[in-house]
Structure 1
């Protein structure tokens, strides 16, 4: 993998791994069983690995992301022997930290910097997917401490709720608002409207970034040496 991923195609791999994670979450819901929960965990670790390899970050951020990924793996294994709501909350918080760190790194690489190519466009898709996944983690953490925070979802292990919460997150992010799942608690409502605002601003910022970077690159080409 390390030989094929480069700065010209890294966001293709990253976006593909995020899509695989979303699909595996749906399969986890469709095919019940503890073994499939481990498949979801394996796909999550695979996603972490692809992020670490494809982003090619500096040592500080690499150490941060790999520490979070290792911590997530250790807590996930520990939860098998010491199952508790607190352990689930830690697992979700570590996933949120990893996605948040990945989001920040990608944003620095593609927003308002350099020329626009297909890899950067795909990178903006990865940013959108990460934004939805981050809020999905927030909703899952809320449900760990307030199981009745949302209508349309029942209390069950976070892996089994992952598909429903992710679906709700992207519906909120795009401001579709189907209404089959809705927030009940005040904390959940605040999280939901903040995500809706973030989704609107994300679209505006990405379009402005890509257009601005393209015009700047075009102007640099036209300037005489």
Structure 2
């Protein structure tokens, strides 16, 4: 009941705040599940993921172009998750990861359309730019997990185990790469993994320039229009 009331409080002035909190919660949850038993780990992470999906959809319901698509993805993800749990089909992991990537990509596209190079800049839009950054890191984390499904030796320092156990490691490596820190504890081995990694590093460098220029130009345009 309390969660339902919170979701109803989400509006176009604070939606990106709730969405960003949900994404941060997913990252923290991904790290937290590693301290619980292996049997409950994936179910707990799936719970965090579904909660994030619900908050994202509530935050983006104002974008009618993507809301139906996001609802469809969530429904399909739940069905695939149930099939995997009941029938024990391991190949469903790849499908679940692909659906999760599509969800993050759709969310990213919807937010970008609402905040980049459009309208005046407010706190909600600034927080939305943080959500975009988090989504970039999450999308690449999912890409690394998919890559590990097909190429178990693609990375050093990251074992080919279930995606639930590997999610936190993949997210850590993704954000380290996105911010070009490069600690070196996890590194790509195969040519395809190397390409995916340096593409993320390139996107990370250009993201800041694009977002800053977008917010500045939008604010200048708003001031010009306001002053006539």
| TM-score, normalising length: structure 1 | 0.95
Shift of 1:38: 1.2
Partner residue in 1 for 2:3: none
In structure 2, runs of 5+ residues without a counterpart are 1-5
Counterpart Cα distance in 1 of 2:57 and 2:142: 20
Give 3-state SS (helix, strand or coil) of 2:120's partner. coil
Partner residue in 2 for 1:165: 170
More divergent stretch after superposition (137-146 vs 27-36): 27-36
Counterpart Cα distance in 2 of 1:36 and 1:29: 7
Partner residue in 2 for 1:105: 110
Partner residue in 1 for 2:151: 146
Shift of 1:59: 4.0
Contact 1:132-1:166 within 8 A present in 2 as well: yes
Partner residue in 2 for 1:90: 95
Shift of 1:219: 1.6
Q: Where does 1:6-155 land on structure 2 (aligned, <5 Å)?
A: 6-155=11-160
Counterpart Cα distance in 1 of 2:17 and 2:64: 23
Shift of 1:3: 2.4
Shift of 1:85: 4.1
> What RMSD over aligned residues (CA atoms) do the two structures have, in Å?
1.2
In structure 1, runs of 5+ residues without a counterpart are none
Counterpart Cα distance in 1 of 2:144 and 2:89: 18
Shift of 1:60: 4.2
Contact 1:85-1:144 within 8 A present in 2 as well: no
Relative distance call for 1:102 and 1:166 in structure 2 (3 A) is: same
Partner residue in 2 for 1:206: 211
Q: In the alignment, does 2:188 pair up with 1:176?
A: no
Partner residue in 1 for 2:9: 4
Contact 1:15-1:126 within 8 A present in 2 as well: yes
Partner residue in 2 for 1:156: 161
Give 3-state SS (helix, strand or coil) of 1:81's partner. helix
The number of residues matched between the two structures is 223
Contact 1:111-1:210 within 8 A present in 2 as well: yes
Counterpart Cα distance in 2 of 1:183 and 1:2: 40
Contact 1:18-1:47 within 8 A present in 2 as well: yes
Shift of 1:10: 0.4
Shift of 1:179: 0.3
